[in-house]
């Protein structure tokens, strides 16, 4: 009975968090991911779980991630990627280069003191070219130790919070010392387009109405089918890389499914995927032990600081060389190192609504490319390390 109640808690607590996120400003500021991690850590360290419950937890997070990935990708507008303004695309490329040239050297500087450091490198690439969902996917793909994953992500959240404070306060003035200011263009997207992105990727409004919920169940069925195809390959491949193939196949099939209009037009699929990611965050945090946070983990913290802060300043220098304006640089950095929900926050601080849509496009694109880049770099580090 206790196991059933705990599983129900995992599924229903994120629903409560999402409800409160829309009702209370402070919950929205903290963010659903942080709240789920915090509550997960709390319940995991007060001794309420049965002794054999860890197997149930591992099953849960191994299932929800493969189901979440296609749902996150079904609503992608791949054609929009190719319509990006030149400066936006250039800033994206420069941002990815900046992440690579900080994470890879960081592996050689700090990796010796970190267990499974090549896997950690892959997760860092995934999260700083995508988002939390990509880190979760790469954790599953590379079979990263749960404690290492959680420690990495919590340090990422801490460093990210400090970076966000910098971005919304003095970042623009700092980089304007050597970069050019933003100049409005007639080609910038309209406010209506930006609102449609918020509705498509953030709003849960009317999700349980018949008009939305029934098609959403169909989308979930397609996601289960895609996960099933990946699982069939998983059980017929060598154990060394079967999980990696599973995640990459699911990612690829999710992107391909987004080209099918009847699937692409199903509303709230992205939100359903994020709900499953919140379940993952809650479950994986509840497995962790507070004793993880010791001085022995400082190399991991330093690596993350190098990856986040170092890549930001390298991206700024490269943007100066290639004449990218400061606002586009900052919004693309936000989209890559954090996630789409932070794009409007930073854009508001910069007093520039025109850069919201390009930032959102880049952020959503990150969900698609983060898994590929993260897995590729992880195996590259293992090969050269």
Percent of the chain with pLDDT over 90: 41
Return d(Cα 365, Cα 374) in angstroms, integer. 14
Contact predicate 254/72, CB 8 Å: yes
Q: Which of 113, 106, 112 is nearest to 123 (CA)?
A: 106
C-alpha torsion sign, points 258, 259, 263, 267: positive
DSSP letters spanning 169-234: HTHHHHHTTTSPPP---TTSPPHHHHHHHHHHHT--TTTTSHHHHHHHHHHHHHHHHHHHHHHHHH
Rounded mean pLDDT of 286-303?
A: 78
How do residues 322-332 score in pLDDT, each as one tens digit? Answer: 999 999 899 99
pLDDT of 296 over the 90 cut: no
**Structural domain count of the chain:** 1
pLDDT in tens, 307-356: 999 999 999 999 999 999 999 899 999 988 887 777 877 887 887 877 87
The tens digit of pLDDT for each residue in 20-63 reads 988 888 888 788 888 888 898 888 878 787 777 878 888 887 89
Structural domain for 81, as ranges: 2-384
Is the pLDDT at 188 greater than 50, yes or no? no
- Computed over every residue of the chain, the mean pLDDT equals 85
The answer on pLDDT for 232 being more than 60 is: yes
């Amino acid at each position: 009975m206790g196991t059933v109640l705990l599983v129900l808690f995992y599924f229903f607590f994120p629903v409560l968090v999402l409800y409160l996120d829309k009702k209370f400003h402070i919950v929205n500021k903290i963010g659903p991911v942080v709240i789920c991690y915090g509550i997960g850590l709390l319940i995991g360290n007060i001794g309420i779980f049965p002794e054999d419950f860890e197997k149930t937890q591992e099953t849960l997070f191994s299932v929800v991630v493969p189901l979440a990935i296609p749902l996150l990708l079904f609503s992608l507008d791949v054609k929009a990627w190719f319509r990006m303004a030149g400066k936006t695309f250039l800033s994206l490329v420069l941002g990815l280069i900046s992440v690579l040239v900080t994470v890879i050297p960081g592996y050689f500087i700090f990796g010796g003191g970190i267990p499974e450091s090549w896997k950690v490198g892959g997760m860092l690439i995934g999260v700083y070219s995508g988002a939390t969902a990509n880190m979760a996917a790469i954790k599953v793909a590379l079979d990263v130790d749960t404690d290492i994953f959680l420690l990495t992500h919590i340090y990422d959240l801490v460093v990210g919070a400090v970076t966000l404070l910098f971005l919304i306060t003095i970042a623009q003035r700092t980089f304007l010392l050597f970069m050019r200011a933003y100049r409005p263009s007639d080609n910038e997207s309209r406010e209506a387009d930006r609102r449609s992105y918020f509705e498509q990727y953030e709003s849960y409004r009317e999700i349980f109405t018949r008009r939305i919920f029934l098609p959403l169940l169909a989308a979930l069925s397609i996601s289960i089918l895609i996960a099933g195809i990946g699982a069939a390959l998983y059980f017929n491949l060598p154990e060394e890389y079967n999980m990696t193939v599973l995640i990459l196949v699911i990612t690829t099939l999710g992107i391909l499914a987004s080209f099918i209009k009847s699937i692409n037009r199903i509303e709230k699929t992205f939100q359903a995927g994020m709900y499953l990611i919140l379940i993952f965050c809650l479950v994986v945090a509840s497995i962790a032990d507070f004793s993880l946070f010791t001085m022995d983990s400082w190399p991991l913290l330093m690596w993350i600081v190098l990856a986040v802060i170092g890549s930001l300043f390298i991206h700024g220098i490269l943007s100066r060389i290639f004449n990218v304006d400061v606002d586009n640089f900052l919004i693309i950095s936000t989209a890559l190192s954090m996630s789409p929900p932070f794009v409007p926050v930073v854009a508001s601080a910069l007093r520039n609504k025109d850069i919201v849509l390009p930032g959102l496009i880049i952020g959503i694109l990150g969900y698609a490319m983060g898994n590929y880049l993260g897995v590729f770099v992880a195996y590259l580090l293992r090969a050269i390390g």
